[in-house]
Amino acid sequence: MANTDRVEARFYTRDGDGYVCGLCPHACRLKPGQYGRCGSRRADEDMLVAYSYGKVSSMCVDPVEKKPLFHYRPHSRCFSVGSVGCNIRCRHCQNYSISMMSYGKKRTTYESPRELVGMCRHEGQDIIAFTYNEPGIWFEYIMDVMAEDPDLHLVLVTNGFLNEEPLRQLCHVADAFNMDVKGFTEEFYGRICDGHLADVLRSAEIVHEEGVHLELTYLVIPGLNDSEDDVGRFCEWVRDTLDPDVPVHFTRFHPDYEMTDVPMTPVDTVMRCREIGMERGLNYVYVGNVLTEDGDNTYCPECGEAVVKRLGYLVNVVGLDGDRCSNCGHRIPIIR
């Protein structure tokens, strides 16, 4: 069990008088006194420290649809928790006040795993979601929280930029992932996010292979990742490498952080992305940050009947018998 002062990081090796971190593909080399690119790991003389362990910046009970997760326990609420730091650096990050450690020191409070679980249960929730900033860099804390209360259901909202071994370990305790695919070229990831597309796609494959529920989010940014070619290739990749049943959310960009010069995504563009997804054979494609009549509903891909209707966070399960369409009996992959 963790020492609350200094918790040793997992996944690192010694390198002369310093360390190489093995948690994410950046593989930071750190000398004593240095912090990793994520800001969440610090090299001390005697060990690499999980510096953000237990440091909580944000807590809220909110709908699971907000993650977004549409095929995981519809109409549930979850106890959502965030820390500070991120291992990539999106120029449009909406949570930059907590994700960018360099952007002023965000106040945090220390909550032990037992305290956090106690708060979650006190709120009457059995789903805990690690979200807001990147949860992968909170690996040790998340594992200790789940060890404290293994009956909790774990949701991770992640950028997917994590190495295989820690990701597989998280899969063994997680119930659902929402993973961002932020664009579909390495050029986009390098220029806008300081990350790598190939690593993220591999992570999505691992979660899918491990049999953990997965939904993908693609934030559509005008002129940067919204071409028919990029969106089409992304959808084909989901269809061919994962499964046409993996839910995909195309969400609307709002100007933020270092990208206030880029306009909000036109609604038509987001709706067109949804059409492209359906044309490419994806069965469950949704839009986000847009209020539409039908863009958030789940339709049976066999008979076309609405099985779940959503308007904002109003959710109405209208056509499901267990996990079957109540009209035609087709299996709809929604965990209830």
Report the residue number, 128 or 193, with the smaller CB distance to ligand SF4.
Answer: 193
Shortest spacing between CB 131 and ligand SF4, in angstroms? 9
Dihedral sign, Cα of residue 196, residue 246, residue 208, residue 289: positive
CB 93 within 8 A of CB 193: no
β-sheet with 12-15: strand ranges across: 12-15, 18-21, 29-30
Report the residue number, 9 or 231, with the smaller CB distance to ligand SF4.
Answer: 9
Shortest spacing between CB 153 and ligand SF4, in angstroms? 22
CB 32 within 8 A of CB 18: yes
Residues 6+ apart with CB under 8 A from 77: 61, 62, 63, 64, 125, 127
CB 211 within 8 A of CB 243: no
Closest residue to ligand SF4: CB criterion:
36
183, amino acid identity: G
Record the tokens describing residue 223, joined without a space: 């002129």
Report the residue number, 2 or 317, with the smaller CB distance to ligand SF4.
Answer: 2
Report the residue number, 253 or 299, with the smaller CB distance to ligand SF4.
Answer: 253
The site for ligand SF4 (CB under 6 A) is made up of 21, 23-24, 26-28, 36-38, 40-41, 86-90, 93, 95, 99, 133-134, 137, 159
d(CA 95, CA 63): 18
Shortest spacing between CB 3 and ligand SF4, in angstroms? 20
- The SS3 of residue 167 is helix
Shortest spacing between CB 223 and ligand SF4, in angstroms? 18
Shortest spacing between CB 84 and ligand SF4, in angstroms? 10
Report the residue number, 96 or 234, with the smaller CB distance to ligand SF4.
Answer: 96
CA dihedral (250, 98, 256, 70) in degrees, to 10, reads 20
Report the residue number, 63 or 82, with the smaller CB distance to ligand SF4.
Answer: 82
Shortest spacing between CB 295 and ligand SF4, in angstroms? 22
